[in-house]
C-alpha cells in the first residue's frame, strides 16, 4: 500500500494544486470557480495528513477503511492520518465545497493537537459522515473563508496562530453539529441496539462463546459495519450506556438463566459465559445486580 509522508507528495499524487505552505493546503470553490477534482481512481493509499472536506459525491462508492461512503450532498468528511482511502472511476465528484489538508506536524505543540484526539468524527467510517443543514453549511464555510484569507496572505509572526485558532473553531462547530446529529438519530440508534443484541444472540447460539470467549466490541462493530467509536457514541447518546455496558448486561441476563440450573457451580457459570476468571464474573454480577451470583441463586430458590 502506498503511503505519503509529506503533504506535497500526497497532493501531487491526488493531482491537486501544490500547497502554498509545506504543511497546509486550503482549496475552496467560489461562486465563479470550481474545486479541482482529484485523480479519477486510486488503489488503497494512506498519508500523514488530516483532511476536512465538504466535497459532494454525485455517484459512486468511495471506500474509507473497510466501509463505503454513503452520504448525500452537504456531508462533511473528516479523515485522520494513516486512514485508508480508495476509489475507482465510477465516483463522480461535484466541484463545489472546500478541502483543507494539513500535515499532523502542523499542529504539534498547540492546544489543537490535544483537542483533535478527542473528536470521534475523525475515527468514523464514512457512512457516519456529518450531514450539514444549509445553515450549518454556511457557518462552516464562513470559517473556512477566514482560514483561506490567512492562508493566501503573506506569512508573518501571527499567521500560524490565527490559522490554528480558526481550525480550532471549525472543529468545535463540527463537534457541536455531530452532537446535534446524534440527537436526531433515535430510530437509527434503536435499530443499532437491536442489531447489536442480535449479533450477541447469534454469537451465543452458535457456540462461539465456548470456543472463542466473550466477543470484543471491535468484533461486534465490524459485524455491524460501523466503527467501534461510533457504535459506542450512538448507544450512549440514546440509552445512556456504552457498548461495553450493553455487553455486560447481556452477559448478566444470560448468567441469570444459567444460575437457575442447580447442577452448575458459580465457576462453571463463569466459564460457560466466556469469563477466564470466575472472580471477575462474580464482581461484575454483584456490581450490576447488587448481590453475588450465589445470593441470587438462593433468592430464586426461596421464591
**8: CATH:** 2.60.120
Per-residue pLDDT at 204: 82
Q: Which grid cell is 104?
A: 499532523
Q: Are residues 224 and 174 in the same domain?
A: no
Residue finishing a domain among 183, 209, 225: 183
HSE value, Cβ hemisphere, 13 Å, CA-based, for 243: 24
Q: pLDDT confidence of 166, banded at 50, 70, 90?
A: very high
CA angle 32, 35, 37 (to 5 degrees): 140
Per-residue pLDDT at 303: 47
Q: Are residues 125 and 258 in the same domain?
A: no
**Distance between CA atoms of 218 and 42, rounded to whole angstroms?**
27
Q: Are residues 197 and 73 in the same domain?
A: no
Residue finishing a domain among 125, 149, 183: 183
Per-residue pLDDT at 67: 46
Look at residue 222 and tell me whether its pLDDT is greater than 60: yes
Per-residue pLDDT at 70: 45
Q: Which grid cell is 254?
A: 444470560
Between 86 and 144, residue with greater pLDDT: 144
DSSP 163-231: HHHHHHHHHHHHHHHHHHHHHT-HHHHHHHHHHHHHHHHHHHHTTHHHHH-SPPHHHHHHHTTS-HHHH
Look at residue 61 and tell me whether its pLDDT is greater than 70: no
Per-residue pLDDT at 88: 76
Compute the CA torsion angle 91, 92, 97, 102 (nearest 10 deg). Answer: 40
Q: pLDDT confidence of 65, banded at 50, 70, 90?
A: very low
CA angle 128, 170, 25 (to 5 degrees): 95
Look at residue 214 and tell me whether its pLDDT is greater than 50: yes
CATH code assigned at 193: 1.10.10.60
3-state secondary structure of 84: coil
Q: Are residues 9 and 158 in the same domain?
A: yes
Q: Are residues 78 and 197 in the same domain?
A: no
Q: Which grid cell is 48?
A: 500523514
Compute the CA torsion angle 58, 61, 66, 72 (nearest 10 deg). Answer: 30
Per-residue pLDDT at 253: 84
Q: Are residues 104 and 12 in the same domain?
A: yes
Per-residue pLDDT at 142: 95
CB 50 within 8 A of CB 122: yes
Per-residue pLDDT at 9: 97
Q: Across 55-69, 116-130, 193-207, which has the greatest mean pLDDT?
A: 193-207
Number of domains observed in the structure of the chain:
2
Q: pLDDT confidence of 107, banded at 50, 70, 90?
A: very high
Q: Are residues 148 and 205 in the same domain?
A: no
Q: Across 5-19, 180-194, 260-274, which has the greatest mean pLDDT?
A: 5-19
| Mean pLDDT, residues 80-99 taken together | 77
Q: Are residues 73 and 21 in the same domain?
A: yes
Look at residue 139 and tell me whether its pLDDT is greater than 80: yes
Q: pLDDT confidence of 40, banded at 50, 70, 90?
A: confident
Is 281 buried (19+), middle (13-18) or exposed (0-12) by CB count in 10 A? buried
Q: Are residues 205 and 132 in the same domain?
A: no
Residue finishing a domain among 133, 150, 183: 183
Per-residue pLDDT at 32: 66
Render pLDDT for 248-290 as a digit per residue (tens, 0 to 9).
988 888 888 788 777 888 998 888 888 888 999 999 999 988 9
Q: Are residues 169 and 191 in the same domain?
A: no
Domain hosting residue 199, numbered range: 186-302
Q: Are residues 14 and 153 in the same domain?
A: yes
**Distance between CA atoms of 5 and 166, rounded to whole angstroms?**
25
Look at residue 71 and tell me whether its pLDDT is greater than 80: no
CB 61 within 8 A of CB 68: yes
State the DSSP H helix or E strand holding residue 134, giving kind and residue range, or none if neither: helix 134-152
Q: Are residues 210 and 262 in the same domain?
A: yes
Amino acid at each position: 500500500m502506498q503511503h505519503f509522508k509529506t503533504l506535497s507528495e500526497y497532493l501531487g499524487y491526488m493531482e491537486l494544486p501544490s500547497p502554498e505552505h509545506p504543511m497546509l493546503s486550503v482549496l475552496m470553490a467560489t461562486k465563479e470557480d470550481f474545486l479541482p477534482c482529484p485523480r479519477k481512481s486510486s488503489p488503497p493509499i494512506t498519508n500523514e495528513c488530516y483532511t476536512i472536506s465538504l466535497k459532494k459525491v454525485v455517484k459512486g462508492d468511495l471506500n474509507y477503511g473497510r466501509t463505503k461512503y454513503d452520504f448525500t450532498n452537504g456531508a462533511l468528511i473528516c479523515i485522520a492520518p494513516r486512514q485508508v482511502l480508495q476509489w475507482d472511476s465510477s465516483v463522480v465528484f461535484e466541484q463545489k465545497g472546500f478541502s483543507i489538508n494539513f500535515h499532523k506536524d502542523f499542529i504539534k505543540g498547540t492546544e489543537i493537537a490535544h483537542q483533535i484526539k478527542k473528536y470521534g468524527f475523525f475515527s468514523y467510517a464514512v457512512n457516519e459522515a456529518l450531514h450539514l443543514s444549509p445553515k450549518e453549511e454556511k457557518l462552516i464555510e464562513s470559517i473556512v473563508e477566514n482560514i483561506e484569507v490567512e492562508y493566501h496572505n503573506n506569512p508573518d509572526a501571527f499567521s500560524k496562530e490565527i490559522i490554528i485558532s480558526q481550525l480550532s473553531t471549525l472543529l468545535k462547530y463540527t463537534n457541536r453539529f455531530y452532537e446535534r446529529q446524534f440527537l436526531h438519530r433515535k430510530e437509527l440508534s434503536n435499530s443499532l441496539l437491536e442489531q447489536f443484541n442480535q449479533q450477541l444472540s447469534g454469537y451465543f447460539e452458535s457456540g462461539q462463546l465456548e470456543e472463542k470467549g466473550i466477543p470484543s466490541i471491535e468484533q461486534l462493530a465490524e459485524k455491524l459495519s460501523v466503527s467501534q467509536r461510533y457504535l459506542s457514541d450512538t448507544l450512549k447518546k440514546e440509552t445512556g450506556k456504552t457498548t461495553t455496558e450493553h455487553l455486560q448486561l447481556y452477559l448478566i441476563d444470560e448468567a441469570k438463566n444459567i444460575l437457575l440450573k442447580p447442577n452448575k457451580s458459580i465457576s462453571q457459570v463463569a466459564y460457560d459465559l466466556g469469563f477466564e476468571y470466575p472472580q471477575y464474573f462474580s464482581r461484575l454480577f454483584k456490581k450490576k445486580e447488587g448481590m453475588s451470583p450465589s445470593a441470587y441463586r438462593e433468592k430464586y430458590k426461596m421464591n
